[in-house]
């Protein structure tokens, strides 16, 4: 076990934690010195706790979640996400959106940067707690960081480029891997291909709704 894995195990959440308690815990979290002064992006703005789909993205953006308090909102990635989400037939108010890392990572020039592995490790218990609380039957990952975070909670063996847009059983739910809606990821998987992925997600949601109604 690496020291980062040990970090993730040390901070196991309580079995009986409520969402409000988790929000308080995250707001008070100071595990990452690099996140000093950043907003902890978890609260009512993430979405309804009884959502059918729980999206897990990478980390809040400087001009997005860190500014608005709502993941994937207002910045370029957020605007792309809302357009893609519309392809699924789902509205923003129907889904819960969170990040593998709940604070905005920045480089020395103040620009967004990918979260480091140690930051991902420290935030993993918060992600595990959200998965325990928000029992959405579909968990959709947005990008490789989110997919890897879930693999550390319970291995799923998914390779994003091979299995994008296809549901895989995972922890009694369906795990649905998608690309991140960032401009950079659109260079790897173009917008129209991503729209097809979201349409497939919409069809999955319809079948899950029919199965549970
Ligand atoms: S990134 Fe996660 S673990 Fe690190 S300070 Fe923010 S909430 Fe805490």
Looking at every residue in the chain, the average pLDDT score rounds to 94
Structure tokens at 18: 């409520």
Give all strands (DSSP E) within 32-172, no chain letters. Answer: 53-57, 95-99, 138-142, 168-170
Ligand 1, atom nearest to 29 Cα: 8
Cβ–Cβ under 8 Å, residues 141 and 174:
no
* CA dihedral for 66, 68, 73, 78, sign (positive or negative): negative
Cβ–Cβ under 8 Å, residues 34 and 151:
no
* CA dihedral for 157, 120, 139, 80, sign (positive or negative): negative
Give dist(CA 131, CA 41) in Å, integer.
16
pLDDT of amino acid 114: 98
Residue whose Cα lies nearest atom 6 of ligand 1: it is 103
**What residue ranges line ligand 1, CB within 6 angstroms?**
26, 29, 31-32, 35, 40, 101-103, 119, 122-123, 126
Ligand 1, atom nearest to 101 Cα: 1
Ligand 1, atom nearest to 59 Cα: 1
Pairing of strands 168-170, 173-178: antiparallel
- Cβ neighbours of 11 (radius 10 Å): 17
Percent of the chain with pLDDT over 90: 92
pLDDT of amino acid 16: 62
Structure tokens at 62: 């400087």
Q: What is the enclosing helix (H) or strand (E) of 177? A: strand 173-178
pLDDT digits (tens, 9 = 90+) for 81-136: 999 999 999 999 999 999 999 999 999 999 999 999 999 999 999 999 999 999 99
pLDDT of amino acid 17: 84
Ligand 1, atom nearest to 42 Cα: 7
Structure tokens at 35: 């996140």
pLDDT of amino acid 67: 97
Cβ–Cβ under 8 Å, residues 57 and 123:
no
Lowest mean pLDDT, pick from 12-21, 65-74, 154-163, 199-208: 12-21
The stretch 136-140 carries a mean pLDDT of 98
Q: Kindly state which CATH superfamily the domain 3-212 is placed in.
A: Uracil-DNA glycosylase-like domain (3.40.470.10)
Measured between alpha carbons, how far is residue 119 from residues 32, 55, 125, 206 in Å? 6, 19, 11, 36
- Would you list the domain boundaries of the chain? 3-212
Distance of CA 192 to the CA centre of its chain: 22
Percent of the chain with pLDDT over 70: 92
In the reported structure, the alpha carbon of residue 48 is separated from the centroid of ligand 1 by a whole-number distance in angstroms of 22
pLDDT of 12 above 50:
no
Pairing of strands 138-142, 168-170: unpaired
pLDDT of amino acid 164: 98
Nearest residue to 62 (alpha-carbon basis) of 45, 53, 74, 44: 74
pLDDT digits (tens, 9 = 90+) for 150-175: 999 999 999 999 999 999 999 999 99
pLDDT of 56 above 60:
yes
pLDDT of amino acid 133: 97
Q: For ligand 1, pick from 28, 39, 103, 118 the residue to mutate: most ligand atoms within 8 Å of CB.
A: 103
The stretch 10-22 carries a mean pLDDT of 70
The stretch 17-22 carries a mean pLDDT of 94
pLDDT of amino acid 73: 97
pLDDT of amino acid 14: 53
Cβ–Cβ under 8 Å, residues 71 and 155:
no
């Amino acid at each position: 076990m690496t020291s980062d894995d040990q970090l993730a195990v040390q901070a196991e959440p309580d079995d009986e934690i409520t969402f409000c308690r988790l929000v308080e815990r995250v707001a008070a979290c100071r595990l990452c010195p690099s996140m000093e002064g950043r907003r902890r992006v978890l609260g009512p703005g993430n979405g309804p706790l009884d959502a059918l789909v729980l999206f897990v993205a990478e980390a809040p953006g400087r001009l997005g979640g860190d500014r608005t308090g709502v993941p994937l909102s207002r910045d370029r990635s957020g605007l792309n996400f809302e357009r893609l989400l519309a392809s699924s037939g789902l509205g923003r108010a129907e889904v819960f959106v969170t990040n593998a890392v709940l604070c905005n990572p920045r480089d020395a020039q103040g620009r967004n940067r990918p979260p480091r592995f140690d930051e991902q490790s420290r935030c993993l218990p918060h992600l595990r707690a959200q998965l325990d609380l928000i029992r959405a039957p579909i968990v959709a990952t947005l990008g490789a960081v989110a997919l890897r975070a879930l693999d550390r909670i319970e291995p799923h063996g998914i390779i994003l480029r091979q299995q994008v847009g296809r549901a895989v059983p995972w922890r009694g739910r369906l795990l649905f891997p998608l690309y991140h809606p960032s401009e950079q990821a659109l260079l790897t998987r173009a917008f129209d291909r991503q729209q097809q992925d979201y349409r497939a997600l919409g069809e999955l949601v319809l079948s899950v709704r029919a199965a549970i109604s």
